[in-house]
Amino acid sequence: MHLLHAPDAPVADQIAFEDFLKVDIRIGTVVGAEEFPEARKPSLKLRIDFGPAIGVKRSCAQIAALYKPDDLIGRQVAAVVNFPPRQIGKALSEVLTIGFADDQERVVLFSPDVPVPNGARLF
């Protein structure tokens, strides 16, 4: 397992609360998902609706090991919405979908256990 993802990895350096507030993590609903075979690691291309203030954004997520595109439609996921877009091969990823590595290094999505409004911010 990658050292940063390991459950016994050391705690990161302390940051100020103001630094945490700079990371804008929101909930959105997956409205589109497709396979991304050109990616180096098993990935999917997602379209996520973050509500009227942010809109629909694209994300390339390394989640194909556990998730199929059709199973994700309608699912709420968390993502960082204020990172600059990244070019991932031929695709543009506008938000960073958040997950945790399981014991086999597969990404498990982070999402609320009850529905919340699209665009709701983590605090």
DSSP states of 36-59: -TTSSSS-EEEEEE--TTT-EEEE
Q: What are the residue boundaries of the structural domains of the chain, listed by start?
A: 23-109
Structure confidence by residue, pLDDT tens digits, 6-43: 778 889 999 999 999 999 999 999 999 999 998 888 89
pLDDT at position 117 is 98
What token pair was written down for 36?
């991304």
Span 65-86, pLDDT tens digits: 999 999 999 999 999 999 999 9
Burial label for 63, CB within 10 Å (0-12, 13-18, 19+), is buried
pLDDT level of residue 109 (50, 70, 90 thresholds): very high
CATH second-level architecture of 23-109?
Answer: Beta Barrel (2.40)
The share of the chain scoring above pLDDT 70, in percent, equals: 96
> Beta-carbon neighbour count of residue 27 at 10 Å?
22
Number of C-beta neighbours around residue 121 at 10 A: 11
